[in-house]
């Protein structure tokens, strides 16, 4: 990542988190006009990130605003996207220009960067429904939209900080509507904005440099399959590990070796996070299959095989009936599906048929203990990648999944 020169300017910005039906657009327009701030929304960030890192906009948009994929723990795609967003944001902050950041990305700006005033305007449900009706929504439509958007916001803040989106610790100021009109709300925000605590200071400049260092360290770690919480302060790097490690000293040595040559890094400390869990820490190997969906009503079998595959660095997720599998596919796409035939409810053949019709790029391996030659012929004619019988040798299954994954990658290239 390029080092960006930080301009010494007397400038301040605002970061505004969206709250559906809270006059957000009107507030943003008023603030940007009165304070001469350049508006910078999620879409601006997505476009700039896609251009800078030569990637597609749609996946970035999904990773920013949609629910976290069940396969993310194996792909680390969300962490990588967030890291790219941070790199672009620190570039904007380093210029010293005046911005009004608005959208989900506003939560990516550390509160230690005091020249950016982070703002949330809230409203109770009744006020929000009234605002929605003023915008042309029915009460039923408004309530549904509020639930959907609040769920997305909670998912985002939970992923970042394990906190609800409207937790007061995430903002410099929270302004409740409480019947206030647009002018009154804007006046409150501008009053806070003009306080000396929001001016650019030496500490704020250092916080920008620390954000830059943390982004560079995090990028290097993610490229090598490590998902950790990274904080930097004046060249000191703190790495928080959230999952159990068999040999913590070795992990620390490996991490230190990876990032010690990054400019500005003076010392490195790795420690256990507060939520250090019993889940086993694994360095992700991105060249191996990371999005494998198991569909089988035998829960113990799914869990056992999944763990054995995960120990081979194959990322798996299990559901226990065909209906849940198809429902998951509406939001999340595996690369490979391992599918049982004889399940209660929807038969595996029907799951195979519907999946290949709607998502032909997904490779499907049939794994069954009750099939026969006719079943095999039918499944292969419907587009199954392979047909295997239980009990299955884990090495053979792993090899079949690897082959299916390669086929999927070739189709998607």
pLDDT tens for each residue of the chain, 413 residues long: 454 444 444 469 999 998 888 888 999 999 999 999 999 999 999 999 999 999 999 999 999 999 899 899 888 999 999 999 999 999 999 987 999 999 999 999 999 999 999 999 988 888 889 889 999 999 999 999 999 999 999 999 999 999 999 899 999 999 988 888 999 999 999 999 988 788 888 999 999 999 999 999 999 999 999 999 999 999 999 999 987 777 888 999 999 999 999 988 999 999 888 877 655 555 656 555 679 999 999 999 998 988 888 877 788 899 999 999 999 999 889 999 999 999 999 999 999 999 999 999 999 999 988 778 999 999 999 999 999 999 889 999 999 999 999 998 888 76
- For 371-413, write each residue's pLDDT tens digit: 789 999 999 999 999 999 998 899 999 999 999 999 988 887 6
Residues 247 and 134 in one domain: no
Work out the number of other CB atoms within 10 angstroms of the CB of residue 292. 25
- CATH number for the domain harbouring residue 207: 3.30.1340
Beta bridge partners of 241: 272
Q: d(Cα 212, Cα 209) in Å, to the nearest integer?
A: 5
Q: What is the pLDDT of residue 352?
A: 97
Residues 247 and 351 in one domain: no
Q: Which of 175, 180, 178 is nearest to 16 (CA)?
A: 175
Q: Domain range spanning residue 171?
A: 13-200
Q: What is the pLDDT of residue 183?
A: 94
Residues 275 and 352 in one domain: no
Give residue 17's Cα distance to chain centre: 17
Domain assignment present for 287? no
Q: What is the pLDDT of residue 348?
A: 94
Percent of residues, the chain, with pLDDT higher than 70: 94
Residues 219 and 185 in one domain: no
- Identify the DSSP state of 198: G
* Total domains present in the chain: 3
Listing DSSP states for 285-340 in one string gives: -TTS---EEEE-S-HHHHHHHHHHHHTTT--EEEESSHHHHHHHHTT---SEEEE-
Residues 257 and 349 in one domain: no
Residues 217 and 120 in one domain: no
Residue where one domain finishes, among candidates 161, 185, 200? 200
Q: What is the pLDDT of residue 179?
A: 82
Q: What is the pLDDT of residue 285?
A: 60
Work out the number of other CB atoms within 10 angstroms of the CB of residue 146. 18
Residues 107 and 122 in one domain: yes
Q: d(Cα 273, Cα 213) in Å, to the nearest integer?
A: 20
Q: What is the pLDDT of residue 315?
A: 84
Residues 182 and 146 in one domain: yes
Domain assignment present for 6? no
Residues 169 and 109 in one domain: yes
Confidence (pTM)? 0.81
Q: Position of tokens 């409150």?
A: 188
Q: Which of 280, 199, 193 is nearest to 242 (CA)?
A: 280
Whole-Å CA distances, 43 to 28, 48, 140, 355? 15, 9, 28, 32
């Amino acid at each position: 990542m390029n080092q960006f020169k930080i301009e010494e300017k007397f400038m301040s910005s605002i970061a505004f988190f969206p709250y559906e039906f809270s006059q957000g657009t009107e507030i943003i327009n008023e603030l940007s006009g009165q304070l001469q701030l350049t508006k910078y929304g999620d879409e601006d960030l997505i476009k700039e990130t896609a251009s800078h890192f030569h990637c597609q906009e749609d996946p970035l948009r999904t990773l920013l605003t949609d629910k976290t994929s069940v396969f993310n723990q194996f792909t680390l795609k969300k962490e990588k996207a967030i890291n790219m967003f941070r790199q672009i944001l620190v570039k904007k902050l380093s210029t010293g220009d005046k911005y009004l950041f608005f959208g989900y990305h506003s939560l990516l700006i550390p509160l230690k960067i005091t020249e950016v005033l982070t703002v949330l305007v809230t409203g109770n449900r009744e006020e929000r429904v009234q605002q929605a009706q003023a915008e042309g929504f029915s009460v039923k439509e408004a309530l549904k939209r509020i639930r959907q958007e609040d769920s997305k916001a909670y998912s985002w803040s939970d992923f970042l900080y394990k906190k609800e989106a409207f937790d007061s610790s995430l903002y410099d100021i929270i302004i409740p509507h409480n019947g206030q009109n647009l002018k009154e709300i804007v006046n409150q925000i501008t009053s806070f904005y003009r306080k000396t605590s929001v001016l650019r200071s030496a500490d704020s400049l250092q916080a920008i440099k620390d954000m830059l260092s943390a982004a560079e360290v995090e990028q290097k770690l993610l490229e090598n399959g490590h998902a950790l919480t990274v904080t930097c302060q004046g060249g000191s790097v703190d790495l928080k590990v959230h999952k159990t490690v068999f040999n913590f000293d070795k992990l620390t040595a490996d991490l230190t070796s990876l990032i010690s040559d990054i400019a500005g890094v003076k010392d490195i400390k790795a420690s256990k996070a507060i939520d250090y869990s019993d889940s086993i820490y694994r360095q992700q190997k991105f060249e191996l299959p990371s999005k494998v969906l198991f569909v089988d009503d035998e829960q113990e079998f799914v869990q056992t095989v999944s763990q054995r595959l995960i120990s081979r660095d194959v990322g798996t997720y299990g559901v226990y009936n065909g209906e849940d599998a198809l429902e998951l596919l509406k939001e999340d796409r595996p690369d490979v599906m391992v599918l049982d035939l004889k399940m209660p409810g929807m038969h595996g053949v029907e799951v195979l048929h519907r999946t290949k019709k709607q998502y032909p790029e997904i490779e499907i391996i049939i794994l069954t203990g009750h099939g026969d030659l006719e079943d095999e012929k039918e499944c292969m004619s419907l587009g199954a990648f392979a047909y295997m019988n239980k009990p299955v040798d884990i090495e053979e299954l792993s090899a079949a999944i690897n082959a299916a994954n390669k086929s999927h990658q070739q189709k998607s290239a």
